[in-house]
Amino acid sequence: MTSDLKPLNVLFLCTHNSARSILAEALLNHVGQGRFKAYSAGSSPREGQQPNPMALEALTKAGIATTGLHSKSWDEFAKPDAPHMDLVITVCDNAAGEVCPYWPGQPATAHWGYADPSEASGGDDKKREAFRNTLHLIGRRLEIFVNLSANKLDKLAIQETARDLAKD
């Protein structure tokens, strides 16, 4: 893909949109080199849900911008005026098993499961470590993803490519 092409829109889904999907959104926007535009949402964010402070801390310590990150429902992306998604990736098992709304344009889908770092056992230091580890694991997949050739990212190949990355 060249810089004159439209970026590939990727939506990361989780249940509450407070940890894993937020990490993935920020990280892909950071490493995507303008070839990708990442978004995140939750299937059922809690009333007043905000990104987990430890997720924001892990991103900040990794030098990744957190400006504009906020928890939101996936319903925002099923509206007629929402950005067209090319790829939708669930990052938690709960969201993967739920019936997703109809996505305009029928984007490719994949599941990249990660343990919820906010549920790590132990004190705050253990939870911070879990957030750093989750960020690292997401980063490993995204580093491969953003460096794929254009032919691996065309509409027919993107779903297979994204699903293959889940096998790592």
| 8-157 placed in CATH 3.40.50.2300 | yes
The model's pTM = 0.88
At residue 97, the pLDDT reads 57
At residue 92, the pLDDT reads 82
At residue 134, the pLDDT reads 97
At residue 65, the pLDDT reads 96
Length of the chain in residues, anyone?
A: 168
* Mean predicted confidence (pLDDT) in 110-131: 93
* Mean predicted confidence (pLDDT) in 91-96: 68
Contact 50, 78 (CB under 8 A): no
- Sequence-distant (≥ 6) Cβ neighbours of residue 69 within 8 angstroms: 22, 25, 26, 40, 51, 56, 59
Beta bridge partners of 10: 38, 87
At residue 155, the pLDDT reads 62
Is residue 114 very low, low, confident or very high in pLDDT (cuts 50, 70, 90)? very high
pLDDT above 80: residue 5: no
State the alpha helices, DSSP H only, in the chain: 20-31, 53-61, 93-97, 124-146, 155-165
66 conformational bin, left if phi > 0, alpha if psi -120 to 50, beta if neither? alpha
Sequence ranges of the domains in the chain: 8-157
pLDDT above 80: residue 107: yes
